Structure 1
Amino acid sequence: MSFGDPNNPYGQQPQGQQPGYGYPQQPGQQPGYGYPQAPPVQQPYGAGGYPGATMEMPGGVKAARVILWIMSGFNVLGAVAMVVMSFAIDSELEKSGATSADAAAFADLGQGLLIGLGIFSLIIGVLGMVLAAKFRSGGTGVRVCTIVYASFMVLFSIFSLPAGLISLALGILIIVFVAKADGAAWFNRQKQQY
């Protein structure tokens, strides 16, 4: 009985033998020489291969969080300053004795505009603080909201150049730090059940 050329990978294979190098594997047989196993499953970033191991927040994410806290604090301080300035404008107008209707309308418009900008700045500052506080436990939603928040920060900074140059740079840094691979791994990690 002849089995054909032993070097032909497509030739007939003897029954009962494991497939060798170059022979196609039949269903239900163990892989032979030349058939690599699947690669081992990779552990998530920072898990260290131990189940339940805690992951440390990457440095870039920590830096983005600190920048968010600082920028949010400045937004809240700016909001308070705008409201105080609006009342200072009103009191200065009363001291000057200008009683024309145009001066009063202009003062009311300025005061209303400053109060509106102050409230907007306060909302933006509080939103930044909430995002920074959620970095420790937040998921991908916090990451996406932070990127959108920093994008708006960059957009408003462009309109206020050259004074907004620092906030432009800090907004870009927040986007970069949160969007990097280690930032994505931090926000996509498995949360611990408490």
Structure 2
Amino acid sequence: MRVARVLLFVMGGMQLTVGVLVAGLLAGIIVNDGGSIAEAVAIVSVLLGLGALSIVLGTKFATRGGGVRVTTIVYASLMIVACLGSLGLADGFGPIFTGGPVIGLACGGITLALMVTAQAGAWFNGPR
């Protein structure tokens, strides 16, 4: 469970960092091109929200609740789906859109694989 917890912190840190970077990039694009501020706010909010959720889940591992395990499984599954969808967006953007999703796919896949084992179920349902 330590590996899953560390991966949640890694994913959360990456999402928060990318969220801040994307906020800066989108602010520049909006100022220069007159883009939609609502779309920029939505994208940044999702990135920062998922990063915060990942870190909160990592810290909640100490309480060992079944809800933490289920939420982590759902979160890892959504990360896998989002990363697989992002791999199709690599039209000329190179490692910006291919490196991030591959790392996220690996972290999400490992986390999901660790959470669905019988040992994980026993650990989360064990004494607190």
Task: Work out whether the TM-score is over 0.5.
Answer: yes
1:114 Cα deviation from its structure 2 partner = 2.4
Per-residue Cα deviation, 1:12-33 (whole angstroms, up to 9, x for no partner) = xxxxxxxxxxxxxxxxxxxxxx
Residue 57 (structure 2) aligned to one of 131, 134, 152: 131
The whole-number CA distance in structure 2 between the counterparts of 1:124 and 1:138 is 21
Per-residue Cα deviation, 1:89-144 (whole angstroms, up to 9, x for no partner) = 244x2xxxxxxxxx5xxx232x4322210111101111111100001113111000
The answer on 1:108 being equivalent to 2:35 is yes
Q: How many percent of aligned residue pairs carry the same amino acid?
A: 32
Q: Which amino acid aligns with 2:21?
A: A
Q: Report if the CA contact (8 A) 2:64-2:123 is conserved.
A: no
Higher fraction of helix: 2
The answer on 1:81 being equivalent to 2:21 is yes
Structure 2 spans left out of the alignment, 5+ residues? 89-97
The whole-number CA distance in structure 1 between the counterparts of 2:109 and 2:27 is 35
1:83 Cα deviation from its structure 2 partner = 1.4
Q: Report if the CA contact (8 A) 1:158-1:168 is conserved.
A: yes
Residue 148 (structure 1) aligned to one of 74, 93, 114: 74
CA RMSD of aligned residues (A): 1.5
SS at match of 1:125: helix
Q: Which amino acid aligns with 2:28?
A: A
Q: Radius of gyration: which is bigger?
A: 1
Query: Greater relative contact order (Cα 8 A, min sep 6): structure 1 or 2?
Result: 2
Q: TM-score, normalised by structure 1?
A: 0.57
Residue 43 (structure 2) aligned to one of 106, 117, 126: 117
Q: Report if the CA contact (8 A) 2:76-2:109 is conserved.
A: yes
The whole-number CA distance in structure 1 between the counterparts of 2:26 and 2:52 is 21
Q: TM-score, normalised by structure 2?
A: 0.84
1:78 Cα deviation from its structure 2 partner = 1.2
1:152 Cα deviation from its structure 2 partner = 0.2
Structure 1 spans left out of the alignment, 5+ residues? 1-60, 94-102
Q: Match of 2:92? A: none
Q: Report if the CA contact (8 A) 1:85-1:114 is conserved.
A: no
1:75 Cα deviation from its structure 2 partner = 0.7
